[in-house]
Every structure is written in structure tokens, then in C-alpha cells.
A and B are shown apart, each in its own frame.
Chain A
Amino acid sequence: MHRFWSLLFATVNLACLALLVVAFACPELGWWLPDSASTQAIEIDSLFYLITALCGFFFVATEGILIYSLWKFPSTAPGNPKPIHGHLGLEIGWTIAPLVGLLVITAASLPVWQAARYQGIPTSTLPGNSETSPDADQVILVTARQWDWHLKYATEPLSSEGIRQWAAEGTPSDLVVANELHVWKGAKVSLLLRTTDVIHSFFVPALRLKQDTLPGKTIPMRFEATVSNVRFDPAEGRVVPTDTKGSWEIACAELCGGNHFRMRGKLFVHPDRKSYDAWLDHSKRQTRSRSLTAMVPQAASSIQKDGFTQ
């Protein structure tokens, strides 16, 4: 019984390592990273692996020493072990080693951060700046509220300078969709994040994109999807999944109130612009049309037509 603690620590640590190996080796369990579907996803994943490897090494090393010490020197063992307090070499060692580790992580993560957060963001969306910058293929204004996402799609081309004005005022022809983010593979998408009430966080795991929305601010984000998961089926009038990947979730990643758990949306990546345009046309017909029959083709035949005159 006197080696209880060393056995306990050893068991728990081995179990954790075994879980890690299983999670990594069997992706079908879904215990490892979610699908990665954007250009920045690969870089962010590499960072994750780097940090996991670094931390994992030191974790295993320290736990190993701890378990060994518990085993070797139980409280019932005779005599006292030699203390290491005041060992100058050791202290220098464990100050320098983490410092080097942290510097490595910093050096590796700065370019990723810069690429994910600043490259290609239309500078006109940043306050006090109206410079031209690379045009986005798609501009979407995401407005978070308790508890859903309203996505406003610009249906007419916008110049870099026009984005800010559009975000502020919009036009009557904009398409507003709840909880559905539609983009196409390879499109440079510019997102503008806003909230009408509290702090939310727009999190798309498949894109490795996560950003808080702050009251009073419009926060630009940028991504480019590399894998598609749906296409628009004109016959059925809806998007259909193209492979087993099915749907990618959009989640709120900041506790925002009682219904935070169901503040979710879906990401639909179309294979090409054609499919996206078909979806956009269809949605516009559904929502912008001034005629019931254009909107619901079967309405004409199935509904009595004595509606209007009084």
C-alpha cells in the first residue's frame, strides 16, 4: 500500500497516453481534430502539433521523474532522500529550457497569426483607414444576437472602399439568412463580425476560425475554404451533401446566456461559384420575390385564388 501514489499516478498517466494514441490513430472515432477545410487550418494544426509535441515531451519527462521518485522513496523508506534545494545548475536549466521552448512557439506562431488575422483583410473595414487592398470574392456581415447568427450577403459586387458603407447601411437587395454560411471552394471570403447585444464568439472548427464579437465593434475576418461539402441541387431546390463530411458546425464559443448551447449554424462550402450562384439565385427568388408563385411554384395550383379583392 505504501506505493499507492506512485501506482495511481503511473496508471492515470499511462491511461492518458493510451487515450491520446487511440484518438490519433483512429480518426473515425472523432476524438482528434475536426475536418480541416481552410488554408489557415493546416498552419494552425501544425502549430497545434508543435505545441503538443513540446509540451508532451516535458509532461512525460516530469511525470516520469515524479512517478520514479514516488516509487523509489515512499514515506515508509528508511532515512531521508537528499534534497536538491539550492542546486544552481538545475535552476538555471529549468529557467532556460522553458524560455527556449516559448521562444520557439512564438517564432512559429507569429506568422500564422499574421496570415490568419491581417492578410487580405480589406483595410477599409478598419477604423480610420480607406486604403485599397485586395478585393474579396465575397463579403458577409455576420450579426450575432441572443441566440442566433444573422448573415447578410452582399448580392452585388462591392469595392474595397464600399464595404464599410455597405456594412453600415446595406441595400434592399441584400440577402439575409439565419445560421447558414454559404461560400464556395477557393473564394476569398471577408467576414465582418458584429453583435447586437452581448459578447459572442464566431467559431467555425472546420475553418479553425474563432473570433469574439464585441458590442459596438465591427471586426473583420478572412478565410479561404479548401474543401467543399455540399452542392446546390436545382431540382430539389436545396443544398445536398456531396460526401460523408456532411455538415460543418458554426458554434458560439462564448457563454452568452441561457440558450448559448443552441446558438449554432452550419457552414456550406460549394464546389464552385456556379453552385453557389445557383443557391444565391434560388434564395433571392425565395426571399426577394414580389410574387407568391415565383416563390412557391406549387402555390398557384393548390391555393384558392380569391385572396385579394375585398
Chain B
Amino acid sequence: MLGTLIPSFPERLFGRQIPSGSQWRKKLRFWGSVRIVAVLVLGICSCADKEGYPHDLSYPQRADLIVEESPKLNPNNPSPPGGLEKSIANLALVGGKILDPIKLPEATQAEITKLLDEQFGTPAQPRVGNGKAELGDLGKKLKLDSQTLAQGSVAYRRNCLHCHGLSGDGKGSSGLWVHPPPRDFRQGRFKFISTNPAKNLNRPRREDILRTLRMGLHGTSMPAFGILPLEELEALASYVIHLGIRGEVEFSIEKTLLKPQSQVINLFENFLPDEEVSKAQETLTYFVPKFVKEIVGQYHTAESQILIPPEYPFKDSELSDSIKRGFRLFSSQAPDALGCVSCHIDYGRQSPWQYDEWGSLNRPSNLTAGIYKGGRRPLDLFWRIKRGIPPSKMPAATLTGEDEVKKTWDLVNFIEALPYPATLPEEVRNAVYGPTRRIAKPN
């Protein structure tokens, strides 16, 4: 081939005479040509196929362990890079409960896959619902129509795939090597949400997902995607919800079926009317669409259930007193204290590692660092306090009494000022940073 075009190619490669017709000469000529062709082919390949997943690709069946319950014990160290899967497999040794979806009968596994593909399509043509009228206009309202999802899947492949993985399992090629591990969407659980806890909805609003996309999660490896066009961000949010719902259906069914003597009925007795329960008991085919509709409905309800922060009750001059009260609430000494400090030990500087719902490790935030994963706006802090971070075991603050509103804002004010020693009242500063810490004089 190319080697033959330039007769002296092998000599030029090695700078010495090689007998013509020898085995060596043929080999050199062959590999030299291969090298040139490979460069050309790679060049051409990198120009092609910039858009979307291949059409014959389907979502892989869940094969990794399901964490049913993470251990209560606090470990000393996080799992080493790339060792998350191994550490999840060992959770049972330290008091966790894990289930292995591979143990399901093969026929059941195949049925689940078939039903999921029917409801959620393929990575190239994602959808939510099987296209029949089951979902009504819920899908449209939540922007889960197939056009938006297809756009989202292209953007996801380009921006998210290498950490969050094809099925949203957080095990993309880079995902294994970062800490905290990228979110596994397949339980439909999100950490930073602003929905009303009174409605018992552990769902994010689209706006919560968009905030994470726009600003990233500071303090983790999730970067900010704010310069992508708004349309693309919206499509990404839709696609993440799609992966979340798909994963959650799979997760819930497998988790239920893997429990001893369980039946599909356990899954949906909460939301199906009695006469339908008996029908659903017979078959997953009947159950899955109902379940999808239920989850989509929850996401939809969450949209209107924002937890509205009450009016800020303080004047600027009252800030210092508010910070002092917030400091007392945060501590564990005062009678009405919340004891935040018992997890955020030493204001988070010595927080212990603990397991979250996904079986990975995190630790309560170091609040003196001024790095807030869920956002640094006062409203973000408000939502974290009032809403908690359920999947990582941070409880919502239980503030009661007529001072509830004031107390909440006291906490927000304290946490917002905490990283800036110069702005803290002296007694608080001494308590947090010690009297010896040199504070440079403000100008």
C-alpha cells in the first residue's frame, strides 16, 4: 500500500539497508503502512459521530449490588480510588444489608428488562411511558416528551456520560476515580432539594436539578455547566429525571423481588386501589406502567410544592445578635439547641465519615470552609436546614414554637458568617476559632 509508493520506505525508517524481499522488509513495510492508515482513520473517525448514542444500543440491565440498608457504624476511611464497588460488596460485614440482582431468576430479569425498555426506550430514543395515554399530559408538563429527552441524551453523552455512566449509575470511566463518587441516579434520590417536607415528597424540583447543573457542586468533582444554553440545561434536567425514574422502577422491583417471599404487591399497596391490587399481583406487565405514572406524578407534584422561606424578620443592625442566637442553636449546650455540632464536629473541621443511602461515604460539611455543595445562597442554606439532606442522613432541623421563623434565619445567618472570622461577634469567634487566632484588622 502506502509503503510501496515510496520504494525506500523501510530504509528511511531505520536508516540502514535491509535486503530486498526479506521477511523484515515486508513486516516493516506492512506496519509502516498500518501506522499511516491508522492516523488517517482516527482523524476521520474523530470528525464523525459527534451526535448521540448509536441506535442499536440499549440500557444495560442492572448487575451491581443493591444497597438495601447502609451500616450505622462510622468507618475510619473512605474506600480507596476505584474501590467503591468492593467496599459496597463488603458492607454486609459491617452491618449493612445488600442484595444481588443477579440472583433473580433469569426469566424475571428478562421480563424486567423488556418492560423497562418498553417504558423508557433506548439511550438514543429515550422516553418516559410507553407512548399510550397512561401518563396523560404529565409528561409534557414535566418536559419529559421524547423530543426533549432525545436532545438531553445527546447532551448527556457529551457532558455527563464519562462520570455518571450510561444508565446513570455513577460508574462512568472517570466516575470510579473521584470522591465523593458521582451520583447514582438509579434510586431516584437527590440530595439538594427544596420541596416541602410536610408533603413527604423526597423529590427534587426541576429548578433544584438546574441549580446543580448551572453552578455544579462546589467541593465535589461536579463542575458548573452554566455556560451551556438554557435549552440544553433543561433537556439535561429532563434526561436526568428520565434516568432517575427508570433506575428507580428497576431498583424498587428488584429490591422487592429479592426479599424473601416478597411479592410485587408490597411495592404498590400504598397507591393502588384494592381491586387493582389483586390484578397487579399477577403480573409485572400490569404493574410497571402504573408505577411509572405514580413516580412521574410525584415529580410533577413536587414542582408546585416549593418550601417558601418566610419573610426575613431582622434589620441589618440585628445581625450580630442573630448570629449569636444561631451559634447557640447550632451548639449542644443551650436548652433549645439543635446539636448540629454533634455531627458537624468542631464546626465540621473534624466531621467523621459516614455511610449514605448509596453505600458510599461522605461527611458532614466543614462549615468553616465556606464551600457549600448545595449552593451558597442564603436560600440554599435555608433549604438545607429546613429540608435536611435525607439520603446522606442529615436530618431536617426540627424547630418549633412561635420563634420558628426567627430561629431558622438565626441559623442561616450564623452558618453564612461562620467562614468569615472578621464578621463574627467576638464571643462566637473565640468559641469557633479560639482566642489566639490572629484576625487581620478589617480596613
Contact = CB atoms under 8 A, between A and B. Distances in A.
Do A and B interact with each other, yes or no? yes
Interface of A: 145-148, 150, 158-159, 161-162, 165, 168-172, 176, 178-180, 258-259, 262-266, 287-292, 295, 299, 303-310
B379 A289 contact: yes
Given A162-B443, A308-B308, A263 B419 contact: no
By Cβ-Cβ distance, the 5 closest A-B pairs, closest first, are: A178-B224, A307-B308, A148-B223, A290-B312, A162-B443
Contacts of A306: 196, 198
A310 B398 CA distance: 10
Contacts of A287: 376-377
Interface string B399-443: 000001100010010001101111100000000000000001011
Interface stretch (B83-91, B126-134, B210-218): B210-218
A291 B312 CA distance: 7
Contact of A288 (B159, B377, B404, B405): B377
Contact of B378 (A150, A289, A309, A310): A289
Most-contacted residue by chain B among A159, A264, A289, A305 (CB, 10 A): A289
13 contacts: A147-B223, A148-B224, A165-B442, A169-B421, A179-B224, A180-B226, A258-B173, A288-B378, A289-B378, A291-B312, A303-B304, A305-B308, A310-B198
Given A169-B420, A172-B420, A290-B312, A178 B214 contact: yes
A294 to B, nearest CB: 10
B221 A165 contact: no
B306 A264 contact: no
Nearest to B195: A307
Contacts of B370: 170
Contact of A259 (B223, B312, B379, B417): B223
Contacts of A169: 419-422, 440
A303 B226 contact: no
Nearest to A171: B420
B48 interface: no
B378 A179 contact: no
A244 B197 CA distance: 48
A308 B309 contact: yes
Contacts of A150: 218, 224
B420 A292 contact: no
Contacts of A266: 227
Contacts of B214: 178
B311 interface: yes
Contacts of B310: 308
B174 interface: yes
Contact of B197 (A145, A159, A265, A310): A310
Contact of B227 (A145, A258, A265, A292): A265
B420 A170 contact: yes
Contact of A180 (B173, B221, B227, B421): B227
B251 to A, nearest CB: 28
A304 B174 contact: no
Contacts of A308: 307-310, 405
Contacts of B416: 172
Contacts of A176: 376
Interface in B372-388: 376-379, 382
Contact of A290 (B162, B218, B309, B443): B309
A213 to B, nearest CB: 15
B33 interface: no
A179 B227 contact: yes
B305 interface: yes
Given A172-B420, A178-B216, A165 B226 contact: no
B443 A291 contact: no
B419 A170 contact: yes
B312 A258 contact: no
B400 to A, nearest CB: 9
A146 B379 contact: no
Nearest to B440: A165
Given A171-B422, A303-B304, A306-B196, 12 more contacts: A145-B223, A148-B224, A171-B420, A172-B416, A178-B226, A179-B224, A180-B227, A262-B223, A289-B377, A291-B312, A303-B306, A310-B197
Interface in B243-291: none
Contacts of A288: 377-378
Interface centre among A146, A159, A172, A258 (most CB of B within 10 A): A172
Contacts of A171: 420, 422-423
A188 to B, nearest CB: 19
A146 B221 contact: yes
Contacts of B443: 158-159, 161-162, 165
Contacts of A262: 159, 223
Contacts of B421: 169
A299 to B, nearest CB: 8
Given A170-B420, A172-B420, A287-B377, A292 B304 contact: no
Given A170-B419, A291-B311, A303-B308, A264 B377 contact: no
A295 B308 CA distance: 12
Given A146-B223, A258-B162, A292 B309 contact: yes
A35 B443 CA distance: 39
A256 to B, nearest CB: 11
A265 B216 CA distance: 14
